[in-house]
Amino acid sequence: MKINIPHIAKLANLEITRDQEEVFEKQLSEVLTHIEKLHEVDTTGVHETSQVTGLENIEREDKTTDSFTQEEALSQTKNATNGSFVVKGIFENE
Amino acid sequence: MNNFTNLTIKTAREKLDKKEFSSVELTKYYLEQIKKHNDRLNAFITITEHEALTMAEKADEKIHNGESTPLLGIPLALKDIYVTKGIKTTAASKVLENYVGHYDGTVVKKLKDAGVVILGKTNLDAWAHGSSGENSDFGPTKNPYNTDYVPGGSSSGSPTAVAADMALAASGTDTGGSIRLPASFCNVVGLKPTYGRVSRYGVIAMASSLDSIGHFTKTVEDNALYLQASAGGDPMDATTPPVAVPDYSEKLDHGVKGLKIGVPKEYFIEGLDPKVRELTEKALSWYQSQGAKLVEVSLPHTKYAIEVYYIIQTAEVSSNLARYTGVRYGDERSVFGDEAKRRIMLGTYVLSAGYYDAFYKKAMQVRTLLIKDVKDAFEKVDVMITPASPTLPWKLGEKTTDPLSMYLSDIFTVHANLVGIPGLSVPIGFVDGLPVGMQILGPHFKEDLLYQVGNAFEKEHPFWMERPVL
């Protein structure tokens, strides 16, 4: 089982160097080959589980409570201006 | 100075109440121990000496005024993945090297309300990714019983701190064995509670459908006292169900007579270290001699648990770590260590178009079969007992370049996370000076039963008193 590291790295927003690419490809392909063993299990008609204690629809009253101040929210960023976070532009040339 | 080596939460409480020593004196002892051993063991990332002494002074004041609650004035350590107000929380990753939270997570708040003293934040595999403690960006933790060996992970610093007498108890998280495995490697008691029994709010998320918030102590009864403070519903975590919190100490001395103990045959397989097997079977025979009935059970899909785990876990990791972009807090994604990168990529792969059905959906279906296996087994038995780890602790560096072999060391523990049941790791002896633990598994929300079974063994076999020589 081969994994296309540059493609996956792009989807995951990770920068991977050429050297790392080779190591990761070998390691992850090995893990995937192992994981493929799962295909021998017959799961016809078996539903999927994502929640194990049977909980559903937990509700609470929709009311506002105290939260972080703007100052607190911004205190851990390296890049803030005018009380806001600075993010990269989404559209090029704008 | 007093000799506090064999102190437990329980005995410390009695002595604090009798004023044999103060919480400040106790806290100073542990701070001294940390200073003495941390260079060698690397159990702590952050030591909060000033905060600890302030908390101890407050506790002493309350004790002076006649207050006596189980954890009042008890010094403990927190895995550095629990967010703490005003104190750094790094997740042992350079990405969060300078991150200081503005709030306490629910468990931290509950512990503070219970009057504990927080000594510092303990080392871990970065983001809780690992089974040995070696993936920490702040260097590996060493096993206190032999510093050439790993203490187990991902909660590596916490059990080391408890074993090496650098704290009376310590918190952990268990997503695939990260409490039970290191507990067994460090001769301490470790609980992975039922999924949702303890709030995850304010604990940095690894894999959200698996993460369980537990802890390490020297003894089973101490473990029950800690859970009493941490368990319960929380409006901030919608997966904590409205199930009543029982008195976890009530059944401690009920013994095991008449209990049915399941022995899942799929856990006693080739690849299990014969010496680990021998000690586990010895423990099982002891239970039998005390009037428990041993019943062989089968969990037919066990051999697929690790595969299911490494699909679901990495998928959830890739999603949870997507938020670390360096915009609001922390450093950029390029700072992630190799193991985080591996897991993010594996998770991204199994969720990506064309592979979702073959991997992720398939894993969620086999998870249903794993749940059914366990449900069927608990129709026949009260608890199940297995080794906590297939092997003894291994040498530092032995598995660091081979992720697959590292992943396979969780083979006996991931099952409980996929099914959501509680598991308790209890010491059962030593092989060549290295600790071995058994894992007691029970039905959802039956932590009190695990304590009952674990305490019976520990009372007759107090391995916790065999302290490491440092």
Cβ-based neighbours of B292, under 8 Å, separated by 6 or more = B256, B257, B258, B259, B260, B261
| Side-chain-facing half-sphere of A87: CA atoms under 13 Å | 8
Angstroms from A89 CA to nearest CA on chain B: 12
Chain B, 309-348: which have a CB under 8 Å from a chain A CB? 310-311, 318, 322, 325-330, 333-334, 336, 338, 341-342, 344-346, 348
Task: pLDDT band for B96, please (50, 70, 90 cuts).
Answer: very high
Q: What is the pLDDT of residue A2?
A: 79
Nearest Cβ partner for B348 among A11, A37, A76: A11
Q: Is B355 on the interface with A (CB under 8 A)?
A: no
B178 is catalytic: yes
pLDDT tens-digit readout, A58-92 = 888 889 988 889 999 999 999 999 999 998 888 87
Structure confidence at residue B7 (pLDDT):
97
SS3 B304: helix
**Does any domain span residue B1?**
no
Query: What is the H or E stretch that residue A28 is in?
Result: helix A18-35
The boundaries of the domain holding residue B437 are 9-465
Q: Is residue B4 part of a domain?
A: no
Which residues in A lie closer than 8 A to residue B103 (C-beta atoms)?
Answer: 68
Q: How confident is the model at residue B31 (pLDDT cuts 50, 70, 90)?
A: very high
Lowest mean pLDDT segment, chosen from A49-53, B23-27, B128-132: A49-53
B positions 157-216 inside 8 Å of A (CB): 194-196, 209
**HSE of B424 in the Cβ direction (CA atoms, 13 Å)?**
31
Distance from CA of A39 to the nearest CA of B (A): 8
Cβ burial, residue B361 (10 Å; 0-12/13-18/19+): middle
* CB spacing of A3 vs B330 below 8 angstroms: no
* For range B358-382, the mean pLDDT: 97
CB contact (8 A) between residue A3 and residue B349: yes
What is the per-residue pLDDT for B2? 61
Strand, coil or helix: what is B217?
strand
The mean of the pLDDT values for chain A is: 90
| Total structural domains within chain A | 1
> How many alpha carbons fall within 13 Å on the CB side of residue B271?
12
The per-residue pLDDT for A58 is 83
* Preferred mutation among A53, A59, A61, A63 to probe B, highest tally of B CBs within 10 A: A53
Per CB-CB distance under 8 Å, the chain A contacts of B308 are 38
**A33 in any annotated domain:** yes
Structural domain includes residue A26? yes
| Contact between residue B470 and residue B40 where contact means Cβ atoms under 8 Å apart | yes
Q: Do B195 and A52 touch (CB under 8 A)?
A: yes
Residue B400's pLDDT is what?
87
Q: Among this protein's residues, is B154 annotated catalytic?
A: yes
A residues 32..51 contacting B (CB < 8 A) = 32, 34-35, 37-39, 41, 43, 46-51
Whether pLDDT at B55 is above 90: yes
Give the active site residue among B158, B178, B184, B199: B178
Residue A17 lies in a domain: yes
Q: Does A68 reside within a domain? A: no
User: Is residue B3 domain-resident?
Assistant: no
Q: Can you give the three-state secondary structure of B361-393, one letter per residue? A: HHHHHHHHHHHHHHHHHHHHCCEEEEECCCCCC
Q: Is residue A76 part of a domain?
A: no
Do the Cβ atoms of A49 and B368 come within 8 Å? yes
Tell me whether residue A31 is in a domain. yes
**Whether B418 contacts chain A with CB within 8 A:** yes
For range B364-386, the mean pLDDT: 98
By C-alpha distance, the chain A residue nearest B407 is: A31
pLDDT exceeds 90 at position A51: no
**pLDDT for position A93:** 58
- How many domains is chain B built from? 1
Number of A to B CB contacts under 8 A, please give it: 138
Given CB atoms, is A1 within the 8 Å cutoff of chain B?
no
Q: Is A20 on the interface with B (CB under 8 A)?
A: yes
Q: What is the CATH number of the domain that holds B376?
A: 3.90.1300.10
> Mean pLDDT, chain B, as a whole number?
96
Counting residues of chain B whose pLDDT is more than 90, the rounded percentage is 95
By the 8 A CB rule, do B199 and B171 touch?
no
B132 has pLDDT over 60: yes
Question: A20 in a domain, yes or no?
Answer: yes
